[in-house]
Amino acid sequence: MASSTPPPHCTLTTSKPYQNHHHNHPHLRPSPSSHPPSSIPRPPQSHRSVSFNRSHVPPPPPAAALSSNPQLAADFSGRRSTRFVSKMHFGRPRTSSASSRHSSAAEDALQQAVRFSGDDSRVDAILLSLQASLSVPDDYAFLLRELGNRGEWSMALRCYEFAVRRLSRRRNEQGKLASTMISTLGRLGKVDLAKGVFDKAVFEGYGSTVYTYSALISAYAKSGYCDDAFRVFATMKDSNLTPNLVTYNALIDACGKGGADFKRASDIFDEMLRNGVHPDRISYNSLLAVCAGAGLWEKAKSLFDEMLRKGIDQDIYTYNTLLDAACNGGHMDAAFDIMAEMSAKHIMPNQISYSTVIRGCHKAGKLDKALNLFHEMKFTGMKLDRVSYNNLLGIYASLGRFEEALTLAQEMESMGINKDVVTYNALIDGFGKQARYDKVKELFAKMKAEGLSPNLLTYSTLISVYSKGGLYKDAMQVYKEFKKHGMKADVVFYSNLIDALCKKGFVESSALLLDEMMEGGIQPNVVTYNSIINAFGWSVGPTDYPLDVGEQPIRPVVSVQDVKVSKPVVKGDDRIIKIFEQLASDEPALREEIKRGQKQDFQCVLKVFQKMHEMEIKPNVVTFSAILNACSRCSSFQEASLLLEELRLFDNHVYGVAHGLLMGNDEKVWRQALSLFDEVKRMDSSTASAFYNALTDMLWHFGQRRGAQLVVLEGKRRQVWESTCTYSCLDLHLMSSGAARAMVHAWLLDIRSFVSEGHELPELVSILTGWGKHSKVVGDGALKRAVEALLTSMGAPFWVAKRNIGRFISTGAGVSSWLKESGTLQVLVLKDDRTYPESSDAVLSDLQPLPL
């Protein structure tokens, strides 16, 4: 398998991007003849010991019970971002204000500036009045940092310009302030402004230092602009400046935040060693962060062991990053083991440790366990910080428990912890998923009224929510506001938008946005491509289960290069606005795109594969699941053969199993399948179940019913689906239509054996379908309709429960009587359309009864 771990998804409680961003900036090194920049671009106005026992965790508390000590650190009650505060508290010593190098005059200047927040013109007057008392450059550096911490970056810029003018001809001190200003802007995500400060400093002769270059590299790193950081690094070396440890660490950090693959970060690490720069703990921690971002658990564990061998001490940041790698890879058992090891080494888990594991449980769908961990934090006396509250808000919102979420938000404020942008992002996303668009608009307005600046994730979430809800005018207005504020879309932003359009059936328009991304210098990642592949066939009914097809003649595999792809029909400077305008006005062009349907979508998907090969995008298991899902929506075997050929080019092992089972499983194919399932087992439960669902859907769709049943029973044996199966109840939650139908046959066969042995069934027998895999309405989803059609076709005596339309019920006596009928067995036994006669019996002998 090319990759056994899916890429991390954008979570509610973090804002880090996960992929390279390519922004084509002007030359970083101004020529001697260039004109000086007229001005800098200015846009518009100690822990307690914790018991972490998996076997005994108290039950989850109600939201109102999770109060915490009101004596919280100032950082968590101020306006600093959750991400910034979290990194400050990763076990790093923090300099107190009493020992920092600034005067009381600087404190006075800061307080006066804050009082006139929003009025930058006051800055010069304040600084002039205190000029004689302000020491240079420490007081000015203090002001830049503290104004930045309060989000007053425009005031900080004004202060910087004043200080640079005052320090005329004192190049060294001007350079120090330039580094501080660049760092401050970079931390706030204002990379274009940071670049402007850098360019002007270089032109005026005080910016060509290792420190200013390193600060700009770090600024790009913090926003995830990996390629830009490397371009600055190359220019730095061209300027005959020698990179130091800070420079290299910032570059590795850029790889982690920009989603670069591990090899790129590893190459920088090797260059450090060749140049005699010895890596420190921060170097390894940054490398671990690269692994965490990519879910490379095994590599992260290897680096951690290397630190031990080299005698490099681990700190709380090291362990928390290792926890992040385990959780992003879905290895929750390993995460619990790490927590236990931390306590054994007297590195006590802190709020960040717990929040990381809780987030991992949230991502893996183990929401009750996540809530239990919050209760354990409270039980052990650990304070709930802003990160913890934001995680809990995200979980309540995901569960649709909005009253508790809002109560928790009020409690959070009563404890002196102000809501930040992450808090609002979690609430907006949660209400959006439940189609509470009025509440989404109210939260967004309240967020801005409280002086919080929406970030990239805020706008991305809003646009995705509105697009999925068909509110295209609202989505377009949000996007225009996003552009007005000078923010730049990143790969996560585009991926969310593409995913939203795909789910509405606009596959062709989504494919066009790939060109928009690359023209803007942004490299699509595997998540982007997966959305389009998985959307194939949805334009003709995204909530319908795949219809069965008759056996088709197997035709030669056709190369993708033989398929002609239509040229883009939407052109212009901003395709996103054009697409939204067409959607909002219901233009014929978009209606025609839906009518073109599956044939046009198929061409777009093939074009996506071409781009993946050209860009050398490495697929993952989500890609394989998407391809198998697309096969189950193909109208012919010939179309499916084209998609399976792409699967072969990506990963021959997965292809061998899928193609082998599709053509009729034999003993050799099944051994390969078991080996593949061993790899899938190492993934998180949601990713593993998605793969099993996709594989069984494809097999069922093309008539390989026995093979589909063999796969689904193997998945059940491996506990891929966390659902119950007894003689009285079959739970099909989280199963796809193909997997569910195969499971119904197996369950009824097992009950038949039970009845034939003289046993009696319970008085009531039921089949639960719940939401279904694609359902948007409780109980009335694709899974429910597929199971209903199956039961009807078999003549099974089940009917829909009156108060739960997602549940089928029958009497035990009625089911027993039907199972004893002479023709029932023939209906229940599944067969494959294609088999290997010489070995099929050996394979099917492995089919074990359900463990009821």
* pLDDT tens digits along 243-267: 888 888 888 888 877 767 788 888 8
Three-state SS string over 384-453 comes to CCHHHHHHHHHHHHHCCCHHHHHHHHHHHHHCCCCCCHHHHHHHHHHHHHCCCHHHHHHHHHHHHHCCCC
Under DSSP, the state recorded for 469 is T
- Label residue 538 by pLDDT band (50, 70, 90): low
Domain-ending residue, one of 604, 621, 650: 650
Within a domain: 101: no
Within a domain: 683: yes
Identify the three-state secondary structure at position 830. Answer: coil
pTM (two decimals): 0.58
Tokens read off for 4: 């056994």
- Label residue 90 by pLDDT band (50, 70, 90): very low
Q: How far is CA 270 from CA 224, 287, 295, in A?
A: 22, 12, 22
**How many other C-beta atoms can be found within 10 angstroms of the C-beta atom of residue 83?**
19
| 709 and 849 part of one domain | yes
Over 60: is that where the pLDDT of 72 sits? Answer: no
- Label residue 515 by pLDDT band (50, 70, 90): confident
Rounded CA separation 92/747 (Å)? 56
pLDDT at 829: 92
Which whole number is the average pLDDT over 566-581? 60
Question: What are φ and ψ of residue 639, in 5° steps?
Answer: -60, -45
Over 90: is that where the pLDDT of 763 sits? Answer: yes
Tokens read off for 688: 């593993």
**How many other C-beta atoms can be found within 10 angstroms of the C-beta atom of residue 197?**
31
Q: Which of 43-47, 516-520, 839-843 has the lowest mean pLDDT?
A: 43-47
List the one residue out of 683, 777, 774 whose CA is nearest residue 737: 774
183 contacts: CB under 8 Å, gap ≥ 6: 215, 218, 219
Range(s) of the domain holding residue 453? 384-488
pLDDT at 43: 41
Over 70: is that where the pLDDT of 805 sits? Answer: yes
Domain-ending residue, one of 444, 468, 488: 488
Phi/psi zone of residue 31: left (φ > 0), alpha (ψ -120 to 50 degrees), beta?
beta
List the one residue out of 814, 816, 818, 810 whose CA is nearest residue 766: 810
List the one residue out of 658, 534, 682, 676 whose CA is nearest residue 608: 534
| 574 and 696 part of one domain | no
- Label residue 771 by pLDDT band (50, 70, 90): low
Beta bridge partners of 809: 766, 799
Over 50: is that where the pLDDT of 93 sits? Answer: no
Rounded CA separation 420/252 (Å)? 28
| 630 and 505 part of one domain | yes
| 697 and 840 part of one domain | yes
| 482 and 500 part of one domain | no
Who wins on pLDDT, 349 or 516? 349
Rounded CA separation 751/757 (Å)? 10
Q: How far is CA 384 from CA 85, 266, 525, 735, 802, in A?
A: 14, 36, 35, 36, 44
Number of domains the chain contains: 3
Identify the three-state secondary structure at position 783. Answer: helix
Percentage above 70 pLDDT, the chain: 78
Within a domain: 482: yes
| 568 and 641 part of one domain | yes
Q: How many helices (H) and strands (E) does the chain have?
A: 39, 4
**How many other C-beta atoms can be found within 10 angstroms of the C-beta atom of residue 433?**
14
Domain-ending residue, one of 650, 684, 713: 650
* Domain CATH code at residue 788: 3.30.1370.110
Question: What are φ and ψ of residue 14, in 5° steps?
Answer: -135, 160
Within a domain: 154: no
Within a domain: 458: yes
Cα separation of the two ends of the chain:
33
pLDDT at 852: 54
List the one residue out of 796, 849, 788 whose CA is nearest residue 824: 796
| 638 and 766 part of one domain | no
Three-state SS string over 14-37 comes to CCCCCCCCCCCCCCCCCCCCCCCC
Tell me the DSSP string of 202-244: HHTTS--SHHHHHHHHHHHHHTT-HHHHHHHHHHHHHTTPPP-
Who wins on pLDDT, 490 or 458? 458
Residue type, 662: L
Within a domain: 681: yes
Within a domain: 690: yes
Rounded CA separation 691/696 (Å)? 9
List the one residue out of 520, 527, 458, 535 whose CA is nearest residue 490: 520
Rounded CA separation 141/146 (Å)? 9
Tell me the DSSP string of 270-317: HHHHHTTPPP-HHHHHHHHHHHHHHT-HHHHHHHHHHHHHTTPPP-HH
| 690 and 792 part of one domain | yes
Rounded CA separation 263/268 (Å)? 9
Rounded CA separation 47/69 (Å)? 14
In the block, which residue shows the tokens 């795909």? 502
Under DSSP, the state recorded for 562 is G
Question: What are φ and ψ of residue 808, in 5° steps?
Answer: -105, 135
| 543 and 481 part of one domain | no
pLDDT at 592: 53
pLDDT at 814: 94
pLDDT at 589: 52
| 697 and 830 part of one domain | yes
In terms of Cβ atoms closer than 10 Å to its own Cβ (0-12, 13-18, 19+), residue 597 is middle
Over 90: is that where the pLDDT of 813 sits? Answer: yes
pLDDT at 444: 93
Beta bridge partners of 800: 808
Question: What are φ and ψ of residue 635, in 5° steps?
Answer: -90, -10
| 413 and 553 part of one domain | no
Over 80: is that where the pLDDT of 4 sits? Answer: no
Under DSSP, the state recorded for 719 is T
Beta bridge partners of 730: 725, 767
Instruction: Give the up-direction half-sphere exposure of residue 402: CA atoms within 13 A in the CB hemisphere.
Output: 14
* pLDDT tens digits along 45-71: 433 333 333 333 334 334 334 333 333
Percentage above 90 pLDDT, the chain: 17
Which whole number is the average pLDDT over 282-295? 86
Cis peptide before 137 (omega within 30 of 0): yes
Within a domain: 284: no
Mean of the per-residue pLDDT values of the chain: 77
Over 50: is that where the pLDDT of 696 sits? Answer: yes
* pLDDT tens digits along 428-467: 988 888 888 998 999 999 999 988 889 888 998 998 898 8
- Label residue 187 by pLDDT band (50, 70, 90): confident
| 686 and 830 part of one domain | yes
Phi/psi zone of residue 831: left (φ > 0), alpha (ψ -120 to 50 degrees), beta?
beta
Identify the three-state secondary structure at position 107. Answer: helix
* Domain CATH code at residue 426: 1.25.40.10
Three-state SS string over 63-106 comes to HHHCCCCCCCCHHHCCCCCHHHHHHHCCCCCCCCCCCCCCCHHH
